[in-house]
Amino acid sequence: MRLAVAALVSTLALAAACAAAVATSGAPAMQTRSGNVPVLPIQAEDAYYKSAASAVEARIAERGIKPAKNVILFIGDGMGVSTITASRIYAGQSAGVDGESYRLAMDTLPWAALSKTYSHDYQVSDSAGTATAIVSGLKTKSGFLGVSSAANFGNCASVQGAEADTLFEIAQRSGLATGVVSTARITHATPAATFAKVPHRNWEADADMRGASSDTCKDIARQLIEGAASDFDVILGGGRSKFLPKEMPDPEYPDQSGERADGRNLMEDWAAKGGERVTLFDKAGFDGVDFTSGVKVLGLFEPSHMQYELDREEDKAGEPSLEEMTRAAITRLAQNPDGFVLMVEGGRIDHAHHAGNAIRALEDTLAFDAAVAAALEMTSRDDTLIIVTADHSHTLTINGYPQRGNPILGIVTAGASAEGGSLGADGLPYTTLSYANGPGACRETGKDADGKPEYDCKRYDLTGVDTLAADFRQQALVPLYSETHGGEDVAAFASGPGANLVSGVIEQNEIFHIMGRAIGLIPAPDAD
């Protein structure tokens, strides 16, 4: 039922999108809608920054750019092209219609590009380096948040002078409304990229810093509470254990506690900063907030990451959906007449892929797409730039020669003319979706004398196995405890003012420059 509802939302979004006006190229030189004064970020001399700024400026000179009042950045963490395709088919099939020709809400955005996801030091990057590229306009080392490649991994002293401004910090200082929404911990790589400056993405709480001084190099949760991000208007996601002291029981799960070693309750510290503020930890608190007011909201709905969409169905009272959080954030941020900048992350797509568990990755992609549909419904293409992209891909493949309409999570049933038929050369069936590596390469066969798991890493027979089960792991080639990221380009879809700059094959850090130029927060390169 829930998938059918998600499918209906996507269909409605398509109708709305077709009726909306599409931004045209060849617009005159940009005049900002809200009188924003462009600010040169502190990283403006970085070579990656300058190269991306020049590339975007060349497209502006050729095509023009219309001014945006608002920017909404959607990041599907780990949402590679194969994930989008599989999710599209899954959504259509779940709704009882043709999956292959189905359209998601993100499919309706009129502009698209391929985004190159490598980092300064890795062919296949992580979420920290890629998210920093998207929100700060420069490529950096994997594992870094908000600092350039001039810093050294895990070295606090190297951060000074290597910091980078984010679009969200610039927007907040310029008087615009700002918000971050994620199904992951708010201190996790992608949402933390909007505000954190650390040479180690795992420094989420002081207890995670392992010898590094939490005063010299503040942990990520503390940076959120003590830095400019403390004045973000909406912060919704998971990860409250990083904000609570280890002596304090969790407000929702009394058998769990916080993780902070410094004894601080950072949620209380945030609430005490002045003005109208509210902290939330469950759906009841969320439902009680008037998002049409000027209240600032910090909602942390789980001790760690929020639940997978497939599992959230069983605990609707515990936490809001990504779509509900997105609607609330847009409602609240729209109260600012000067405009807003918002990030929405579908953070758990990535986690399901790491587990080799495609069904949860697809379910979370559809929840993410429902949030995109909500944003399209609630905003106008005349004044709101929406970009939907991913930080990186995964090793998920769609393979074999399954017949049209074959269940996307099922065993390959090939047509009569397909080479190789429905079985592998080993005589065993295989699924349409599989991974190049990950935990699905092995299966637990029992326990040894010490009670430790024993594994069989030979490909096993899927005959009679329910490949649509929630906990089924797609088979993988290389056995790893956690499946890895993929290094191919990812999609970037766009609509609204500035969307005409999202085309062709672009560097990932150009996305920052497109957003910043469209909303008038950063100047053209070499501008006085």
The CA-atom distances, in angstroms, between 421 and each of 303, 402, 462 are 47, 9, 16
The amino acid at residue 250 is D
Taking the C-alpha atoms of residue 146 and residue 144, their distance in angstroms, rounded to an integer, is: 7
Q: How many domains does the chain have?
A: 2
Q: 284 lies in a domain?
A: yes
Q: 228 lies in a domain?
A: yes
Token look-up 């080479």 returns 419
Shared domain for 303 and 260, answered yes or no, is yes
Shared domain for 367 and 444, answered yes or no, is no
Yes or no: say if 347 and 172 are a contact pair by the CB < 8 Å rule: no
The amino acid at residue 117 is T
Shared domain for 359 and 462, answered yes or no, is no
Token look-up 């998210």 returns 131
Q: 412 lies in a domain?
A: yes
Taking the C-alpha atoms of residue 304 and residue 307, their distance in angstroms, rounded to an integer, is: 9
* 481-508 residue pLDDT tens: 999 999 999 999 999 999 999 999 999 9
Q: Exactly one of 125, 127, 174, 495 is catalytic; name it.
A: 127
User: 3-class DSSP state for residue 162?
Assistant: coil
Question: What DSSP assignment string belongs to 297-348?
Answer: EEEE-SSSSPPPHHHHGGGTTT---HHHHHHHHHHHHTTSTT-EEEEEEETH
At residue 15, the pLDDT reads: 40
Cβ-Cβ contacts under 8 Å for 98 (sequence gap 6 or more): 92, 405
User: 3-class DSSP state for residue 495?
Assistant: strand
Q: 197 lies in a domain?
A: no
Question: What DSSP assignment string belongs to 101-135?
Answer: T---TGGG-SEEEEEE---SS-SS--HHHHHHHHH
Q: 157 lies in a domain?
A: no
Environment class of 57 (CB within 10 Å of its CB; exposed 0-12, middle 13-18, buried 19+): middle
Shared domain for 336 and 405, answered yes or no, is no
Shared domain for 271 and 378, answered yes or no, is yes
Q: 375 lies in a domain?
A: yes
Shared domain for 329 and 308, answered yes or no, is yes
At residue 210, the pLDDT reads: 82
202-221 residues labelled b (16+ CB within 10 A) or e (exposed): bbbbbbbbeebebeebbbbb
* 361-398 residue pLDDT tens: 999 999 999 999 999 999 999 999 999 999 999 999 99
Find the CATH number of the domain harbouring 265: 3.40.720.10
pLDDT under 50: residue ranges of the chain: 1-32, 528
Shared domain for 284 and 401, answered yes or no, is no
Shared domain for 342 and 447, answered yes or no, is no
At residue 415, the pLDDT reads: 77
For residue 461, what are the domain limits?
A: 396-483
At residue 3, the pLDDT reads: 44
Shared domain for 412 and 388, answered yes or no, is no
Residue 133's nearest CA partner among 146, 150, 143, 124 is 146
Active site residue 127: yes
Q: 500 lies in a domain?
A: yes
Shared domain for 376 and 322, answered yes or no, is yes
At residue 11, the pLDDT reads: 41
At residue 527, the pLDDT reads: 59
At residue 317, the pLDDT reads: 58
Cβ-Cβ contacts under 8 Å for 160 (sequence gap 6 or more): none
Shared domain for 15 and 111, answered yes or no, is yes
Q: 8 lies in a domain?
A: yes
Instruction: Look up residue 46 and give its two tokens.
Output: 């970085």
Shared domain for 252 and 352, answered yes or no, is yes
